[in-house]
Structure 1
Amino acid sequence: MLRPASRLPLALKVLFTAFLAVMVPVYWYNYGPSNFLYFCDISLLLCLISVWTEKALPASMAAVGILLPQVLWCADFVGELLGVRLLGMTSYMFDENRSLFLRGLSFFHGWLPFLLVYLVRRLGYDRRALWAWTGVAWGLCLVAYFLLPPAGAIMPDPKIPVNINYVFGFDDVAPQTWLPAPVYLVCWMLALLVVAYLPTHFVLRRWSARRAYKGLTSELAMIRVS
């Protein structure tokens, strides 16, 4: 029996795996294991699963979760580059106490959205991704809130992350004070769903449906011609 042709090029699989083979130990050494509880790092691992299994669900989950936040990361980085502070989420990219190599690895935030769009285009969009990712993201928020260092915590190594996934506010130096912390956490989790995940889900679902329709009409046209 003939094996089905791969929908993803081998070069992509090898290069992406090689990047993670470098990034994971470097991040683990410099930032500690808790760093891998950030949404973006979880998304990288989901991409790795999709790249090798060619299953749509992991990549779809990552796309729902971080396409919009990564756009904000890029905008914040450009703002910092121009001397305009937006959210401060990329301030670490200008921290001279971190090596250029370490900071350079974080540029995956810039190309990961393009990879995710490519994966969804090639593998399709799995509509289960919305609630699958939401469950993962909310679980990560609860872990970060109850078990990991809050904003303003003094760590023995300043590179160790605090306020993971912004569960204490957007400022890592001090927690937000305009809402009680538990209320803010609930509002943040709901905002992620309503502002980021739902719109991305609807756009990807419609885009995928249109691509599927075009593919079907093309196949029907070819059948008629033959």
Structure 2
Amino acid sequence: MPNSHPAPSLWLKLPYTFFVAVLVPVYWRDYGPTNFLYFCDVALLLTLISLWSGNMIWASASAIGILLPQTLWMADFLGGMIGLPITGMTAYMFDQELPLFTRFLSLFHFWLPLFLLYLVWRHGYDRRAIWLWWPLATGLLILCYFIAPPPPAPADNPGLPVNINYVYGLGDDAPQDWLPPLAYFLLLLAALPLFVFWPTHWLLKRIMPRSF
């Protein structure tokens, strides 16, 4: 069925595109290319495709992948601002060793989930998106497991991406040690679809208008 929702406004496309055009070279310089393997960074780029193509499958897939994890990021960041972090996952936002402007750009973790909710509410949720995000996320996890270093980051390069998408454990101080590494990784491959991707898809399918 054709998409009856209006196309995203140019006033959304232009500032978003400008932000991405600034972020990509800064992140590449300060964190390196592997930083773009994080689900949140992939979602940022997929959302750009949605804005310019008008096809909400890309934004819908991004929403499936990051809404739940980034809600936790938001809560941890707000807690960190008052000295009460929940998980410590946003500790880097308060790390004086990292450039302030780079940390400022990282605030997209806070507003991108809200922006995605707006997009799928305004322009519709594409129910096929689960079949885009699930295999994409699986491929990213496999790639991270084989090419990204385990934690911790080296002292002389604290911004180096390690444990990307938590393929070595739930913290960045050290790899998890309660399961063999491969067993933990296989558990992660099963747990993310079961507890994150499909529940988010189920919820969005029921509360958001349909784009396809």
Same fold by TM (over 0.5)?
yes
| Residue of structure 1 equivalent to 2:179 | 179
Structure 2 counterparts to residues 50-65 of structure 1, below 5 A: 50-65=50-65
Listed as ranges, the gaps of 5+ residues in structure 2 are: none
Distance across 1 between alignment mates of 2:153 and 2:167: 13
Is the Cα contact below 8 Å between 2:130 and 2:198 reproduced in 1? yes
Q: How many pairs align?
A: 207
- Greater Cα shift, 119-128 or 191-200: 119-128
| Residue of structure 2 equivalent to 1:147 | 147
Is the Cα contact below 8 Å between 1:61 and 1:132 reproduced in 2? yes
Structure (1 or 2) with the larger CA radius of gyration: 1
Query: After superposition, what is the alpha-carbon deviation per residue over 1:19-45, rounded to whole angstroms, capped at 9, x for unaligned?
Result: 001000000000000000000000001
Is the Cα contact below 8 Å between 2:13 and 2:51 reproduced in 1? yes
Is the Cα contact below 8 Å between 2:31 and 2:159 reproduced in 1? yes
Is the Cα contact below 8 Å between 1:149 and 1:163 reproduced in 2? yes
Check 1:12–1:163 CA distance in 2 against 1; reply closer, same or farther (3 A cut). Answer: same
User: Given the two structures, how large is their TM-score scaled by the length of structure 1?
Assistant: 0.87
Higher-RCO chain (CA-CA 8 Å, sequence separation at least 6): 2
**RMSD, matched Cα:** 1.7
Give how far 1:158 is off. Answer: 2.0
Query: After superposition, what is the alpha-carbon deviation per residue over 1:152-194, rounded to whole angstroms, capped at 9, x for unaligned?
Result: 3537522111110011112212100011111111111222111
Is the Cα contact below 8 Å between 2:35 and 2:161 reproduced in 1? yes
| Residue of structure 1 equivalent to 2:119 | 119
Distance across 2 between alignment mates of 1:171 and 1:117: 28
Structure 2 counterparts to residues 52-201 of structure 1, below 5 A: 52-152=52-152, 154=154, 157-201=157-201
Give how far 1:146 is off. Answer: 1.0
Listed as ranges, the gaps of 5+ residues in structure 1 are: 213-226
User: Given the two structures, how large is their TM-score scaled by the length of structure 2?
Assistant: 0.92
SS at match of 1:128: helix
Is the Cα contact below 8 Å between 1:7 and 1:122 reproduced in 2? no
Check 1:29–1:153 CA distance in 2 against 1; reply closer, same or farther (3 A cut). Answer: closer
- Greater Cα shift, 123-132 or 110-119: 123-132
| Residue of structure 1 equivalent to 2:49 | 49
